């Protein structure tokens, strides 16, 4: 460990006169390490409390320590007497250790003046060895081949550091390097050169690489073919040695007419096999696959792009598609009406006729003005005590149309308000209006005045007393007289210690209290040193003896002896052709060690050759004769087999075929696998695919016994229903019925209701409306799906009898299935949302209670108009979420989603859908998601849902409110007919 030097600065500043005493002695720790070289003290002029006695003077002393790691410690102490010595102890913690510093200050006061006559310091603790250092190292002087270097280590925690010697670096030459050739290199053999440093005279040798032959143009001794390598002969232009190199085999075979061994199909290449006339090897060339193209064109419309599709007639694969731009003039679908300019109260509007596909405006008709529809009167300006108010009513058709009328003034309502007086504030009696707080009269009540109480506390030596006067009513402070503190009289001597090499003291006590004051007696003389332990010198560190004062235990290091230096020994290990040698230098007294590497010697080379076969590589290997190490190994590639034409076993529908080849040069064989031929079937068998039922045909399949592939099918005719009739007669209170069911499949074939007498009498007045317990909801925004309207005629301004959907909308409205989006508007071309549809089905079921159900959807808030309907639909398997915990109630419902939800509702209610027609595939069948395919087939067969022009279903297209109304009417009629 090396000395750690910390610096302590101490500044003495007087209020009127600057004094800066400096402690010249070095401050050391218990191990003799220098902690600080000096310190400064600052102090102010004394302040007297009275009487002129120098004992009553005081001063403030500030000690400032500035350390070498830039830490700063500042301590402030008050000396309450003059002509004393004050000792203060400070403990300073640093990250590596803890040291205790003792500062002694001697101050003298006389006739009102003050001076500091002495400052001394000592410390205890080990500033270096008690800590755990982490070092950062840096090369101060680099080692060379002739001089050692110096490495400096500095603590990362504190400022402690030390240095160490770096051993000679025999690879770092500082002299000039001379080169001399020992042996010249030739075309085939390495040479050798020697290198010597002029500073350390160390010599090393390095090989000079062989130059290699210089080829001439060369001559071909043997041409290369597809079966054998060729040979090229060369003569070196330097040493005139002759040698040969091989020419690689050619890649191209020489063959005559080939044989087609595999026919090309639409998707797989065929194969043509040839036999080489040089090497007799067979090789294969591909016959490219090709399709037989067929083109289908679908014309474009005003909404949908057309398409040109090219497919293969043989394998039906779609080869290419090309879109045809939309034809904005080709309107082939239905039309609908929609308001272009809405009618106002006083001005007529305009109704437009639009293409249902592209929404283009085709024609317009005029509409009559609606007239005013006044709402209720609402207060807009409130009446006051003295002023009139106003109320207004607004037209429900147009909120900018208003009417106003006045509201009479209210008049004042008088009352009396009293505020009681206090000690210092007046009170009052006021007559005011309760409504507007207008003041009519004000009577003043005089303040009552304070009631005084006196409280006295006597003064002490250190604290002031007081005489305080306060009010007993409001606690207000009226006056407060301060009684000055008495101060101490330190007259009694109660403790004493004589001064030695360290300070003594006198302790005085106050006669009025227990307070004490200490006077320091200055030290009398020098330390009495006693010789202690001696530390011997080492190779790299000095020795020393520790002396200790018998009086105060202070220590210092003396009798310094110089470091010894290293006692070096050297051991040499010679280099060989497989390993480097070394030169190791060590010290016999310490752990110093330096190793220099001696480079390994060159090998003595011997060559061994093994020729190649058909399947195994040969080699030409060079090894060292002395150490047997492998120096190089040149691989002689295997010559490869020479195969005959082989024998073939053909493939079947379940087993691969194989062709076996024999090598004409050795006993080797190889086989090539022939892919399974899926069309080469053996024996067959028949098995039922689906059994025939009462209403549906079954299917019988023919299969291959080997691969079990279905080769063909035959139809099994439906068996037909076996009808059973059940009759229950109607009573006075209950309906009866005649049910026809099948005793094979339990299907309900028909159900005729026999009305009871009460229902029969009420039937004629029901006007065909379906009962519903759901309340009528009025639309106030686009988010509200249903709005009520009372009336049996068409209430909607945006539909009329010429619209294709008129009958469907009126059916849905009169049966409480759907109502408007706003008063007098149905919005037939607005997309239906997922929340709207499930709410319609929920209303059909009488809006059952769902409070017990947990809500799994983060976008379905409790209390919204669709919340109960969504939870009801989820519980009964009619609707599901869109993933990630969401239902998307305001998302537009697609046509395939609508079909899936309607069929789930059919299954939930156990209704029956009729089968009126066979399902036909749509041109966009592939774009229908799997979950919706069966639902679309069932609704199509029941004639509830249909395709669009061009034989497309458009599964991802949104369903308008008009389309939903049409589906609901067809759905309701179809299920009723099927039940009856």
Q: Phi/psi zone of residue 362: left (φ > 0), alpha (ψ -120 to 50 degrees), beta?
A: alpha
CA distance 336 to 799: 8
The pairing of strands 318-324 and 306-312 is antiparallel
CA distance 385 to 404: 21
CA distance 56 to 49: 6
DSSP assigned state of 255? B
CA distance 283 to 227: 13
Burial of 563-589, coded b for 16+ CB within 10 Å and e otherwise, reads: ebebeeeeeeeeeeeeeeeeeebbbee
CA distance 391 to 378: 5
CA distance 272 to 287: 7
3-state secondary structure of 963: helix
CA distance 69 to 78: 29
Query: 234 CB contacts (<8 Å, ≥6 apart)?
Result: 213, 215, 216, 218, 242, 243, 244, 245
Question: What pLDDT shows up at residue 51?
Answer: 36
CA distance 573 to 585: 12
Residue ranges of E strands in 318-420? 318-324, 335-341, 350-355, 361-366, 378-381, 389-394, 402-407, 414-419
Around Cβ 246, how many Cβ atoms within 10 Å? 14
* Ranges in the chain, pLDDT < 50: 1-25, 45, 47-56, 68-70, 94-95, 110-112, 129-132, 757-791, 978, 980
DSSP string covering 299-327, please? Answer: ---SSS-EEEEEEETTT--EEEEEEE---
Read off the pLDDT of residues 403-425 as tens digits, 9 standing for 90 and up. Answer: 898 988 888 888 888 888 888 88
CA distance 554 to 692: 117
CA distance 105 to 83: 11
Q: Give me the long-range contacts of 12-15 (CB less than 8 A, separation at least 24).
A: 12/40, 12/41, 12/42, 12/43, 12/61, 12/62, 12/116, 13/42, 13/43, 13/44, 13/62, 14/42, 14/43, 14/44, 14/45, 15/44, 15/45
Q: How many alpha carbons fall within 13 Å on the CB side of residue 383? A: 13
Residue ranges of E strands in 735-811? 736-742, 748-754
- Inter-residue contact 665 to 281 (CB < 8 Å): no
Vertex 118, ends 115 and 124: CA angle to 5°? 140
Read off the pLDDT of residues 480-512 as tens digits, 9 standing for 90 and up. Answer: 888 888 888 777 888 888 787 877 888 888 888
CA distance 866 to 855: 12
Q: Which of 99, 120, 119 is nearest to 108 (CA)?
A: 119
Question: What pLDDT shows up at residue 752?
Answer: 62
Query: 641 CB contacts (<8 Å, ≥6 apart)?
Result: 614, 615, 663, 665, 666, 668, 670
- How far is it between the farthest Cα atoms of the chain? 143
Query: 647 CB contacts (<8 Å, ≥6 apart)?
Result: 659, 660
Question: What pLDDT shows up at residue 775?
Answer: 26
Predicted TM-score (pTM) of the model is: 0.27
């Amino acid at each position: 460990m090396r000395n750690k030097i910390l610096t302590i600065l101490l500044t003495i500043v007087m209020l009127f006169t600057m004094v800066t005493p400096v402690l010249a002695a070095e401050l050391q720790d218990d191990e003799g390490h220098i902690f600080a070289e000096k310190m400064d003290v600052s102090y102010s002029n004394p302040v007297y409390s009275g009487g002129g006695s120098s004992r009553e003077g005081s001063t403030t002393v500030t000690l400032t320590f500035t350390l070498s790691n830039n830490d700063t410690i500042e301590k402030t102490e008050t000396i309450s007497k003059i002509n004393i010595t004050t000792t203060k102890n400070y403990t300073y913690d640093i990250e590596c250790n803890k040291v205790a510093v003792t500062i002694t200050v001697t101050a003298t006061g006389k006739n009102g003046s003050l001076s500091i006559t002495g400052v001394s310091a000592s410390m205890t603790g080990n500033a270096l060895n008690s800590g755990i250092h982490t070092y950062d190292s840096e090369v101060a002087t680099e080692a060379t081949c002739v001089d050692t270097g110096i490495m400096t280590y500095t603590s990362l925690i504190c400022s402690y550091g030390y240095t160490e010697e770096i051993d000679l670096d025999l690879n770092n030459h500082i002299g000039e390097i001379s080169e001399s050739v020992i042996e010249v290199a030739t075309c085939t053999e390495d040479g050798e050169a020697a290198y010597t440093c002029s500073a350390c005279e160390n010599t090393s040798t390095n090989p000079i690489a062989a130059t290699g032959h210089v080829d001439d143009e060369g001559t071909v001794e043997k041409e290369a073919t597809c079966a054998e390598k060729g040979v090229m002969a060369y003569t070196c232009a330097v040493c005139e040695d002759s040698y040969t190199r091989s020419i690689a085999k050619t890649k191209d075979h020489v063959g005559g007419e080939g044989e087609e061994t595999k026919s090309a199909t639409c998707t797989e290449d065929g194969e043509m096999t040839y036999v080489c006339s040089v090497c007799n090897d067979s090789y294969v060339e591909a016959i490219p696959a090709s399709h037989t193209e067929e083109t289908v064109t679908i014309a474009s419309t005003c909404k949908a792009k057309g398409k040109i599709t090219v497919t293969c007639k043989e394998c039906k694969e779609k080869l290419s598609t090309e879109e045809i731009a939309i034809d904005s003039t080709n309107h082939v679908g239905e039309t609908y009406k929609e308001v272009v300019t809405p009618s106002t109260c006083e001005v007529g509007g305009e109704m437009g006729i639009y293409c249902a596909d592209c929404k283009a405006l085709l024609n317009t008709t005029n509409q009559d003005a609606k007239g005013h529809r006044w709402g209720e009167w609402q207060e807009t300006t409130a009446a006051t005590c003295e002023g009139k108010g106003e109320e207004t009513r607004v037209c429900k058709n147009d909120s900018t149309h208003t009417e106003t009328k006045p509201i009479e003034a209210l008049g004042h309502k008088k009352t009396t308000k009293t505020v009681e007086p206090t000690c210092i504030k007046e009170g009052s009696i006021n007559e005011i209006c309760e409504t507007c707080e207008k003041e009519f009269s004000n009577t003043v009540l005089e303040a009552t005045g304070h009631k005084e109480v006196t409280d006295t506390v006597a003064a002490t030596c250190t604290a002031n007393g007081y005489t305080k006067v306060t009010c007993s009513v409001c606690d207000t402070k009226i006056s407060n007289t301060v009684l000055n503190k008495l101060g101490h009289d330190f007259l009694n001597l109660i403790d004493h210690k004589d001064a030695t090499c360290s300070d003594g003291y006198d302790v005085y006590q106050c006669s009025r209290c227990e307070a004490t004051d200490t006077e320091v007696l200055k030290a009398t003389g020098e330390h009495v040193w006693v010789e202690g332990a001696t530390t011997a010198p080492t190779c790299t560190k000095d020795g020393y003896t520790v002396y200790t004062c018998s009086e105060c235990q202070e220590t210092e290091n003396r009798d310094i002896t110089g470091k010894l230096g290293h006692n070096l020994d050297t051991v040499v290990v010679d280099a060989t052709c497989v390993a480097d040698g070394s030169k190791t230098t060590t010290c016999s007294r310490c752990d110093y060690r330096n190793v220099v590497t001696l480079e390994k010697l060159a090998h003595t080379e011997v060559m061994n050759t093994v020729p190649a076969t058909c399947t195994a590589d040969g080699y030409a290997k060079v090894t060292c004769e002395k150490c047997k190490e492998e120096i190089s190994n040149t691989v002689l590639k295997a010559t490869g087999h020479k195969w005959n034409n082989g024998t073939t076993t053909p493939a079947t529908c379940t087993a691969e075929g194989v062709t076996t080849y024999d090598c004409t040069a050795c006993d080797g064989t190889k086989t090539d696998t022939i892919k399974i031929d899926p069309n080469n079937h053996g024996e067959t068998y028949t098995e039922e695919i689906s059994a025939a039922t009462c209403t549906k045909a079954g299917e019988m399949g023919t299969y291959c016994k080997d691969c079990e592939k279905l080769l063909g099918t035959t139809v099994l005719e439906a068996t037909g229903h076996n009808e059973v009739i059940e009759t229950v007669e109607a009573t006075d209170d209950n309906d009866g019925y005649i049910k026809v069911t099948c005793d094979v499949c339990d299907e309900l074939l028909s159900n005729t209701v026999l009305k009871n007498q009460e229902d029969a009498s009420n039937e004629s007045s029901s006007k065909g409306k379906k009962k519903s317990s759901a309340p009528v909801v009025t639309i106030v925004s686009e988010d509200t799906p249903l709005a009520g309207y009372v009336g049996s005629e068409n209430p909607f301004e945006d539909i009329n009898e010429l619209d294709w959907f008129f009958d469907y909308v009126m059916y849905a409205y009169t049966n409480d299935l759907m109502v408007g989006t706003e008063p007098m508007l149905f919005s037939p071309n607005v997309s239906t949302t997922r929340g709207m549809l499930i709410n319609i089905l929920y209303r059909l079921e009488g809006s059952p209670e769902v409070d017990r159900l947990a809500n799994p959807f983060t976008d379905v808030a409790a209390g919204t108009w669709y919340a109960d309907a969504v939870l009801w639909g989820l519980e009964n398997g009619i609707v599901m979420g869109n993933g990630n915990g969401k239902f998307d109630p305001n998302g537009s419902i697609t046509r395939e989603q609508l079909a899936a939800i309607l069929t789930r509702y059919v299954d939930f209610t156990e209704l029956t859908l009729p089968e009126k027609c066979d399902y036909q595939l749509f041109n966009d069948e592939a774009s229908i998601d799997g979950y919706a395919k069966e639902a679309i087939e069932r609704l199509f067969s029941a004639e509830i849902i249909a395709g669009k022009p061009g034989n497309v279903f458009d599964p991802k297209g949104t369903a308008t409110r008009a389309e939903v109304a049409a589906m609901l009417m067809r759905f309701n009629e179809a299920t009723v007919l099927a039940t009856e």
